[in-house]
Structure 1
Amino acid sequence: MSAAERGDAPHAGRYGESVFRPEQAGEDERIDFGALAYDDITMARLRALGVGPGWDCLDVGAGTGTVSRRLLEEAGVASVLAVDRDVRFLEARRIPGLRVLEADVTAPGAVPGRFRLVHARFVLMHLPEHERLICALAELVAPGGVLVLSDAVDLTNERTPATPYSAAMRAMWQGLRATIGTDVTWVPSCPHLLRDAGLVSVAAEVHVPPLLPGGPLSRFWADTWERSRAAMLATGLVDDAGVDAAVRYLGSDECAALSAGMLTAWGHRPEEDSP
């Protein structure tokens, strides 16, 4: 279902334009905080799926390249193609053996070839055409290969205790949806969308790393709120003092909250029939 069909107001920009601009100082560090929180989880799932020597891999929305690097250095895969709309962080870090492609995956034919692993983390949640893109990414999976998608799931609801953190998270999700089209409401349906895309042996899991004062995930959310502050304030759900209070709350021993979870879903492309 399109944004127009859901009745959403049109948003003004895209990820990396009005919010989370790569040229803004410290954006690579913000991405790295998220990587510190989630990379071990991602790599454990990829290893459990058998990713290893001989695999040709595609890492979509590769960011600073932390998953791409670990696929090459730890999993020992044959090759990784890292794709992003802006590859400045990938180029700056010069990962040996990594192929880099600056491309917009929303454009038809943006990525050539097929891969035994196609991986995208925290990408589709920012793209309104996620259903079409799941089908497009599934087509990039070689027979016998696997598509692995991870996106955020919001764990706040009407019974979540009212704290500076919960107020900031609600304002962030609403502000990002209005500003760049971010939508996590569909993410729990990702396994069904993988089946609809023709994949088999579909499964999913959710992981929620802890929010610890000074920990990488707490620092990631604090930086994320700072960079999306204008969008959050525009919702009317928080003011500047409220955002500041939420940042202090994350860094304090008073923090008692669940982070947004990461839902990872995967599905395999069937082996082609013998001729």
Structure 2
Amino acid sequence: MRGQPRSDYVFQRAEDQKELERLRVIETVCDPASRRRLSGTGLRAGWRCLEVGPGAGSIMNWMGEMVGSRGQVVAVDLSTKFLADQHGSNVEILQEDIRTAALPPRSFDLVHARYVLIHMQDCEVALDRMLDCLKPGGWLVIEEPDFSASRGITGPEETLRSVEKVNQAIERMYRRLGMDFMLGVKLPSLLQRRGLRSLAVENEAPLSPGGSGMATIMRLSAVQLREKYLATGVVSEADLERYCRFADDPETWAIYYATVAVSGQQARG
């Protein structure tokens, strides 16, 4: 490890157990679609893959199974605390910053990142580094949130007002940190300008009841980011309490955020 890289990750100070719980729920909710998108690139035995920001490691390990003993998965993350002793011999874990990691150029068949770029002020630097790592004809799969899609749909009027305030606090928090709260919708343009071919774009904005996986993700986020939300001046303690109750109530409905996923192929030669 080359020194201590600077982290912009909004969950950096979250308690480990709470953060692991949040990551596990994200895996449960998001892994099926991520595996489908990755499989759509032609992922197969013998490929060399780069997983950026593996979190708790589920996609990293799944890709390791897919590429088999003749392939390899390299996982890069600022924190690898949740990845110890749970990966195959064909998986290499690097505690590095993708923006500065000494990865060999043009050496990976597939590069994947989910909910990583949104935590970076200089996300385009990270994106360019990922592209540098791709072989000619290699595939990039990026999945990022778009919080501009967030809105409460059904619930008590006072609670819906609190939900809207929390959504506004999320936007203000990201803006104050110099990050883009609606990065997801900009991905297609970012990749198109970089010459990726065969772009496939998905925009998923599920309408979710309270108690669902998506609602649980955002409730756990609200608990962990409570101080940061309050610091925006948009929400009160009462707003956050109502938001968490809303997210647990199966009779409420909301679009908590959208996920935009873009797959594209590096030009050959």
TM-score range, shorter chain: 0.7 to 0.9
For residue 239 of structure 1, report the CA deviation from its aligned partner.
Answer: 0.6
CA RMSD of aligned residues (A): 2.5
Please state if 1:221 is matched with 2:214. Answer: no
Q: Is the 8 A contact 1:134 1:197 kept in 2?
A: no
| CA shift digits 1:140-186 (9 cap, x unpaired) | 110111111110012447997844333222212322432x4432334
How do 1:104-183 and structure 2 match up within 5 A?
104-107=97-100, 109-113=101-105, 114-156=107-149, 162-178=160-176, 180-183=177-180
Aligned length: 257
For residue 248 of structure 1, report the CA deviation from its aligned partner.
Answer: 0.3
Structure 1: 5+ residue runs without aligned partners?
1-11
Q: What does residue 60 of structure 2 align with?
A: 68
Residue of 24, 28, 32 corresponding to 1:36 = 28
Q: What does residue 3 of structure 1 align with?
A: none
Q: What does residue 89 of structure 1 align with?
A: 82
For residue 26 of structure 1, report the CA deviation from its aligned partner.
Answer: 2.1
Identity %: 27
Q: Is the 8 A contact 1:37 1:209 kept in 2?
A: no
Task: Report the secondary structure of 2:103's partner residue.
Answer: coil
Q: What does residue 204 of structure 1 align with?
A: 201
* Residues 84, 13 of structure 1: alpha-carbon distance in 2 compared, 3 angstrom cutoff: closer
* Residues 60, 159 of structure 1: alpha-carbon distance in 2 compared, 3 angstrom cutoff: closer
* Residues 248, 160 of structure 1: alpha-carbon distance in 2 compared, 3 angstrom cutoff: closer
For residue 84 of structure 1, report the CA deviation from its aligned partner.
Answer: 0.1
Structure 2: 5+ residue runs without aligned partners?
1-5, 155-159
| CA shift digits 1:183-204 (9 cap, x unpaired) | 2334312112112223222231
TM-score normalised by the chain length of structure 1: 0.84
| CA shift digits 1:38-71 (9 cap, x unpaired) | 1101111111221122211000011111111111
For residue 253 of structure 1, report the CA deviation from its aligned partner.
Answer: 2.6
